[in-house]
A and B are shown apart, each in its own frame.
Chain A
Amino acid sequence: MAEIPDDEYILKTTSACAGCSIPLCLRYITKAAGPDTVLVIPACCTSVIQGLYPNTAVNIPVYNVAFASAAAVASGMSEAFRAAGKKTNVICFAGDGGTVDIGIQALSGALERGTDFLYVCYDNEAYSNTGMQRSGATPLGAATTTTPAGKKEFKKDLDAIVNAHNPVYMATACSAYPLDLYNKVEKALSITGPKFIHILAPCPPGWRYQSDKTISVGKLAVQSGMWVLYERENGKISLTGASKAAAKKRIPVEDYLKAQGRFKTASKEEISELQQAVENNFKRIEKEVDGTC
C-alpha cells in the first residue's frame, strides 16, 4: 500500500452538504496528484463545494468551465502544458450529469484523440447540485424529483462507453474506500494518455439517508455488487478491494436499497431486476477476468 502524504489540498471548511462524499474523494485525489495539478470543473456539486468567490477551499488551481465543456477545456490545457514543456496534471472532476449526459460528446472526443489527462466522474446518480433530478446515471427504481415514482430505466453503462474508446487506464472506485481510490489515481497519473476513473459518491440528501451513513451506504453498494471496484489496464480487467470478496459472496441488493429513502417506491419486480443485473454483471466480469469473453 502506498504511503498517503500528509499534505492537504482540500481545506476543512468546504460548502459541501453534511455527510457529502465528494470532499473525501477530492481530498484523496489531490493527495495522490500533488500540487502540480489543475482541476477542471464543469457545473456540478463541486462548483459549490469549492466555496464562494473570493474564497476557495481548494489549494490547487481550479478552473471552472461550462457544463458540456470540461473534457474539451482539459484537452486544450493539456496540449498547452505539453507545448510549454510542463508536466502538470490536468484532472477533470465532473459529476454524472456532466459526464454521462451533457458532457459525453466532449469526453468521447478527448478520449478518441488520446488526450493526456485524467477524467474523474464522481457519480451521485442524479443532478444533485440542482436538487436531485434524474440523470442518465440514476439507477432503476430510484425516486428523484423528476422521477417521483422511481426511474423506469436502467443506469447508462458509462464504463462500457468509455471502455469502447480504449483508454490507457480506467478504473472504478467508491468514496467509502479512499485508499483504493488513492492508489488508482496515483497509478493513473503515472501513465501518459487518456485515463478515466468512475467513483460512486453517495449523497445523503439525494439518496435520503442520515448524513453519518455515507461510508456505510457506500460499503453496502460494493458489498451487494451494485457497485464493482475494478481496474482495466492493457485490455485486462482486475477486481480490487472489497469487490474481490463480493465476486464470491455478496449481500442481497435489497439490503443496500433499504438503507436509503430513494428506493422506497421501488417495486418487487424492479428490485429483482436489479438483483438479476448484479448477477449478470458479475458473470460478465468473471468471464473477462478469465479472458473467456
Chain B
Amino acid sequence: MLNVGTGNKAVALAVRDAKPGVVAAYPITPQTEIVEEIANQVSSGKLGARYIPVESEHSAMAACIGVAATGTRTFTATSSHGLVYMCEMLHWAAGARLPIVMANANRALGPGWNIGAEHSDSMSMRDSGWLQVYASTVQEAYDATIIAFRIAENENVLLPVMINLDGFLLTHVTQGFETVDPSGFLPPTNTPHAIDINNPGGYGTLTANTDHYKFRHDIMVGMKNSVAVIEDAQKEFEKHFGRKYEMYEEYMTEDAEVLVIAMGTIGKEMEVAVDKLREEGVKAGSIRVRWFRPFPDLREKFEGKEIVVIDRDYSFGFGGILANELRAKTCCNPYSVIAGLGGQDVTYDDIAGFVRDRKPGEEFWFGVSE
C-alpha cells in the first residue's frame, strides 16, 4: 500500500505491520514521532499490542528485556542521550541474547545542546553486541525495520538489531513509501530460551570465569552467523516484495578509480556527487555501508582504488570511526573527511569537492579552518 510520510512514520508503520506484543518507549527529539505514532496505532486498535509509557530510556530497554524474556516480540525507539542512557541495558539485551528491535534517530550528544544528525550516539554502542543498519530513505527505514525482526529472531543470531536513521535528515523528511503485509515473510517469534514456568532455571546468574568467556564467544558466533542470515533475509524480502538490499550499496564502482564511502543520508548524496564527478571525467564511484555490525568485507571492492571516507562521527584520539574500521578491515589508506557533525549541511557539491581535493592518508575536518 502506497503511503506518504516521514522516516519516523515509516518505522512506526513497519512496527505496526510486524505485530509486536508489547512496545515500551520514551520520547526524545527527533525520535518522538515514532513513539507518538505507535501510541496512536495502539490506542486506535490498529496495532493489537500493549504499550508501556516508561519513565526513562534506561527503563524502556529494561522493559523490552522483560518482554523479550517471555518470548514476545518487542520494539522501542530512541536517540542520542536516550541511547547512551540505555547503554547498560543495551549490553544486557545482547548478553541475554534477546531479539529486540530498536530504531535510533542519529543525533549529536551534548554539550552544547544539539539535536542535529550525527552518528556519535550509535557508534559509541559499536561493541555492545547489537547489529546496526543505517537507512538512507524513508522506504529503506520501513523495509529495514521489517527485515530486522526476521534477523534478530533467527535462532542462529538471537541478537538485538538497531535501525539507524539520520535525525531530521531522514526522521523528518517526507517521501512516498510502500507498506507490505509481512506475515508470509516474518515467522512468529520463537525464542528457544524464553522463560518457561514448567522448566524453571536461572537466567543471567552469577557466572565464573570458567564459563563467562564461552557466552562471549557465543555472541561472536551469533554475530558471524548474522551475515548469512542478513543476506538470506534480504533476498527473501526481494522475492516477496521486489525491493533489493545488500550489506552495502554500490554505485558506479566497477570501473571507478576513486571510491567515496559513507553511511546514512550522506551515502545517498554521494551518488549525485559521483554523477557530477563523472561529468568532469573523474572516474568516481560510491559505496554506502548499510550494515555497520556485522561489518561488511570490502577488500575486493577496494583493490587498486583510492578511497575517500566521510564520517559523521569521531573517535577522539584516534580518528573517523568508519575510516578506522575500513583501515583495519581492508588495509586501505583513505582520505578521511569528518563532515556533517551536529546536522552540518553536506551537499553533493561538497562531497565532489572532497573527492577532487583528496589527500590519501590525511584527515580533513569540513568547515573548520585552522
A residues whose Cβ falls under 8 Å from a Cβ of B: 35-38, 40, 47-48, 50-54, 56, 58-66, 68-69, 71-84, 88, 105-106, 108-109, 112-113
Q: For the complex, what is the distance from the CA of A48 to the CA of B208, rounded to whole Å?
A: 12
Knowing that A53-B206, A76-B62 touch, tell me 20 more A-B residue pairs with CB under 8 angstroms: A47-B206, A61-B197, A62-B203, A65-B92, A69-B59, A72-B62, A76-B22, A76-B63, A76-B65, A76-B67, A77-B195, A79-B66, A80-B21, A80-B66, A80-B67, A80-B72, A80-B74, A82-B50, A83-B21, A109-B54
Q: For the complex, what is the distance from the CA of A54 to the CA of B214, rounded to whole Å?
A: 13
Contacts of B70 in A (CB 8 A): 77, 80-81, 84
> In the complex the two chains form, is B202's CB within 8 Å of A62's CB?
yes
- CB of B128, distance to nearest CB on chain A (Å): 13
> In the complex the two chains form, is A53's CB within 8 Å of B92's CB?
no
Known A72-B66, A73-B63; judge A112-B55 contact (CB<8 A): yes
Known A36-B197, A75-B52, A82-B50; judge A109-B66 contact (CB<8 A): no
Q: Of A60, A63, A106, which one neighbours B55 at CB under 8 angstroms?
A: A106
29 contacts between A and B (CB under 8 A): A35-B200, A47-B205, A50-B205, A50-B206, A51-B205, A52-B206, A53-B208, A53-B211, A58-B200, A60-B197, A62-B203, A64-B204, A66-B89, A69-B88, A72-B54, A72-B63, A75-B63, A76-B62, A76-B63, A76-B65, A76-B68, A77-B66, A82-B50, A88-B197, A106-B59, A106-B62, A108-B55, A109-B56, A112-B55
> Is the C-beta of B24 less than 8 angstroms from some C-beta in chain A?
yes
Contacts of A108 in B (CB 8 A): 55
Contacts of B15 in A (CB 8 A): none
> In the complex the two chains form, is B50's CB within 8 Å of A54's CB?
no
Q: Which residue of A lies closest to B205 (CB)?
A: A53
> In the complex the two chains form, is A79's CB within 8 Å of B67's CB?
yes
Known A66-B88, A105-B56; judge A61-B195 contact (CB<8 A): yes
Contacts of A64 in B (CB 8 A): 202-205
B residues whose Cβ falls under 8 Å from a Cβ of A: 21-22, 24, 49-50, 52-56, 58-60, 62-70, 72, 74, 88-89, 92, 195-197, 200-208, 211
Known A59-B200, A64-B204, A80-B66; judge A54-B22 contact (CB<8 A): no
State the majority secondary structure of interface residues on B: mixed
Q: Which residue of A lies closest to B24 (CB)?
A: A76
- CB of A103, distance to nearest CB on chain B (Å): 10
Q: Of B50, B52, B58, B201, which one neighbours A68 at CB under 8 angstroms?
A: B58
Q: For the complex, what is the distance from the CA of A53 to the CA of B64, rounded to whole Å?
A: 24
Q: For the complex, what is the distance from the CA of A35 to the CA of B70, rounded to whole Å?
A: 16
Contacts of A81 in B (CB 8 A): 70
- CB of B321, distance to nearest CB on chain A (Å): 26
> In the complex the two chains form, is A38's CB within 8 Å of B195's CB?
yes
Q: Which residue of B lies closest to A68 (CB)?
A: B58
> In the complex the two chains form, is B50's CB within 8 Å of A65's CB?
no
Interface centre among A59, A71, A109 (most CB of B within 10 A): A109
> In the complex the two chains form, is B54's CB within 8 Å of A75's CB?
yes
Contacts of A66 in B (CB 8 A): 62, 88-89, 92
Contacts of B200 in A (CB 8 A): 35, 58-62
Contacts of B208 in A (CB 8 A): 52-53
Q: For the complex, what is the distance from the CA of A64 to the CA of B49, rounded to whole Å?
A: 25
